[in-house]
Copies of this chain bind each other. A is one copy, B any other.
Amino acid sequence: MTLEESMLDMGHRARTASTRLATLSPKQRTEGLEAMASALEAAESLILDANKRDMAAAREKGLTPAMLDRLALDSGRVKSIAKAVREVAALPDPVGAEIARWTVPSGLDIARVRTPLGVIGIIYEARPNVTADAAALCLRSGNAAILRAGSESLQSALAIATALRSGLKGAGLPQDAIQLVNTTDRDAVGYMLTGLQGQIDVIVPRGGKGLVSRVQQDARVPVIGHLEGLCHAYVDADADPEKTVNIVLNAKMRRTGVCGALETLLVNRTVAMTLLPAIAAPLRDAGCELRGDDAARAILPDMTPATEEDWRTEYLAPILSVRIVDDLDAALDHIAYYGTGHTELIITENASTAERFLNQVDAGIVIHNASTQFADGGEFGMGAEIGIATGRIHARGPVGAEQLTIFKYVVRGHGETRP
């Protein structure tokens, strides 16, 4: 088979599996997930062997220590991958749930019922755990998954996918509900982006900006994508100083590499003189570089000057850009212009200022008086997530099992004809 033929074959197998998955009971999907977790635990040594091969190749290629760390598995990490699958098994099953039901004057009984999306193509990068996380969320929501791992983690991903498939088989579920592209050929991604002749319903890219923007550019099927998290905090004139210092430090420094990390701080001019030094001290103690506009540098002259580029940059690193703004409107303008629609924060004790911010900012998540690092499906009580969507259709914010579904209308009649 050519690559194209084998990709199309994969698409057809996925569609067949998805048709069966959609008609299983929630209990059967739960049993499948539990069997997948057990199979992962049973395959630990195979998975670790495969990971050793990936690691050896990665060292040869000269990957950075940070990249090697993301790729590396050990017994504890395999166990936590299995544990995450068990957590998804414990989530409520969204498929078949009635979202709404009503009767219309013609006599028809109309229900809006959740259904799976169908076949989801997931394209991701190095972390081996994504293979299991994504497959589990897809199964929970009744979807078949076609997974495309990064080339660095292909051996690990294959070993994990093999275990997941054997778990499905053991539970009497269709193995082709989870398929992994078994090649590093980049053309495979291109075929996925065409939708495999209608066999892929939606593509979820999970990775860096380069990957996601390529997918959004080239895909011929809908994309649920997470592009960038250039998150802002606006410190209002009525901000509580202690909350401000704590929240900003946590939002920036708890983990700097996550999409919900704070990247730009906007400080109201009337409180900047007192608050900015108080905010800056613990940030600097924690190793954060501050880059400020002229007004901020008038207060803290040892800041690096911020350039236009800084307002546009998702650092994912211990760097914070700081701008002094005249008022809420100036902060809203800055966020409307530079924001990426991910997570935006206001710190204030003034309820009406807060409500204006929450209402007017156009982002997946808007927060009043709490850290931007809460931008996470688990923290939202949604269980696992496949990412935080920054697009504007289908889903925004954390994408969990429920967000991987759509609905249909079930109409029950009694012989009605339309006049």
Interface residues of A (CB under 8 A from B): 19, 22-23, 96, 102, 104-106, 108, 110, 115, 117-118, 201-202, 216-217, 220, 222-224, 240, 242-243, 246-247, 249-251, 254, 336, 354, 358-360, 362-371, 373-374, 379-381, 391-398, 406-418
Contacts and interface: CB of A to CB of B under 8 A. Distances in A.
Given A370-B413, A374-B411, A409-B366, A104 B379 contact: yes
Contact of A392 (B96, B118, B418): B118
A366 B96 CA distance: 14
Contacts of A242: 415
A413 B249 CA distance: 16
A18 to B, nearest CB: 9
Nearest to A115: B362
Contacts of A96: 359
A243 B415 contact: yes
A398 to B, nearest CB: 8
Contact of A371 (B254, B363, B367, B418): B418
B201 A393 contact: yes
Contact of A106 (B374, B414, B415): B374
Given A96-B359, A406-B393, A415 B366 contact: no
A363 B358 CA distance: 37
B391 A222 contact: yes
Nearest to A220: B217
A19 B336 CA distance: 9
A385 to B, nearest CB: 12
A368 B412 contact: yes
B217 A392 contact: no
A301 to B, nearest CB: 29
B110 A368 contact: no
A370 B407 contact: no
Q: Is the contact region of chain A dominated by helix, strand, or loop, or is it mixed?
A: mixed
Contacts of A393: 117, 201-202, 222, 224, 393-394, 406
Nearest to A249: B417
Contact of A406 (B360, B368, B392, B407): B392
A200 to B, nearest CB: 11
Given A367-B412, A393-B406, A396-B406, 10 more contacts: A106-B379, A108-B370, A117-B393, A222-B223, A240-B415, A250-B418, A365-B408, A369-B415, A373-B417, A396-B409
Nearest to A418: B373
Given A381-B102, A406-B392, A368 B411 contact: yes
A397 B115 CA distance: 13
Contact of A397 (B108, B217, B409): B409
Contacts of A354: 412
Nearest to A376: B418
A115 B341 CA distance: 13
Of listed A222, A392, A415, residue having the most chain B CB within 10 A: A392
Nearest to A250: B417
Nearest to A254: B418
B408 A374 contact: no
Contacts of A366: 408-411
Contact of A360 (B23, B102, B370): B23
